[in-house]
């Protein structure tokens, strides 16, 4: 594994995180204006996600945490792209940096997935009873088709983030092992 290939790999990963985060932000903005037919009157998501009458306060916080995590991955992609392209990092420091970034991506992906799962389980109070947010998104009597697609996209992007965290960590470990192998071979050749 060459140093240039690893740097290019990180640049591509950074760009992918930037693109996916921008797409997720756009989808979150569109989701705020999705109409839900709860009871009789249609109501936008942003009208009840921020009101304590229809959804509990924990649901509002979870929605905000999802938005914050999307912004976090946008900044992480920008940082990753800028750090790799602007600075000339030595091979050993780059290998450690890759492992740390992979672990951050992995842990952040699991945390974001927990936010999405808990948000999907949040109950929306109606006059006739309550319904979970994810069930409302998938029920075409409550809302249209595209919010369900958006929800699946959020989960798919987060699954990519988790898998990507594993891949980045594996590349960092492989690069570290190759550097150690080269270092060991050089030491052996110097001793002879």
Q: What is the pLDDT of residues 4-23, one digit of tens each?
A: 888 888 888 889 999 999 99
> pLDDT band for position 140 (50/70/90)?
confident
Averaged pLDDT score across all residues of the chain:
85
> Of all residues in the chain, what percent carry a pLDDT higher than 70?
96
Angle at 71 between CA 67 and CA 74, to 5 degrees: 145
Which contiguous run of DSSP H or E holds residue 98? helix 91-121
What pLDDT score does 192 carry?
Answer: 64
Q: How many residues make up the chain in this entry?
A: 192
Q: What are phi and psi of 127, to 5 degrees?
A: -65, -40
What pLDDT score does 183 carry?
Answer: 82
What separation in angstroms does the CA of 180 have from each of 94, 126, 192?
A: 13, 62, 19
Residue 162 has pLDDT above 80, yes or no: yes
Angle at 109 between CA 113 and CA 172, to 5 degrees: 160
For residues 86 and 158, which has the higher predicted lDDT (pLDDT)?
A: 158
Mean pLDDT of 107-136: 85
């Amino acid at each position: 594994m060459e140093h240039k290939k690893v740097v290019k790999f990180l640049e591509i990963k950074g760009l992918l995180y930037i693109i996916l985060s921008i797409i997720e932000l756009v989808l979150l903005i569109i989701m705020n204006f999705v109409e839900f037919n709860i009871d009789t009157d249609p109501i936008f998501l942003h009208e009840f996600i921020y009101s304590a009458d229809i959804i509990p306060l924990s649901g509002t916080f979870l929605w905000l945490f999802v938005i914050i995590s999307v912004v976090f991955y946008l900044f992480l992609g920008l940082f990753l792209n800028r750090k790799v392209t602007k600075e000339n990092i030595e091979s050993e420091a780059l290998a450690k940096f890759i492992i740390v970034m992979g672990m951050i991506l992995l842990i952040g992906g699991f945390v974001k997935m927990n936010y999405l799962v808990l948000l999907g389980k949040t109950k929306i109070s109606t006059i006739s009873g309550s319904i979970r947010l994810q069930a409302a998104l998938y029920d075409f009597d409550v809302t249209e088709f595209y919010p369900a697609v958006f929800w699946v996209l959020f989960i798919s992007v987060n699954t990519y983030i988790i898998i990507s965290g594993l891949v980045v960590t594996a590349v960092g470990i492989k690069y570290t092992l190759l550097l150690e192998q080269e270092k060991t071979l050089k030491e052996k050749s110097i001793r002879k």
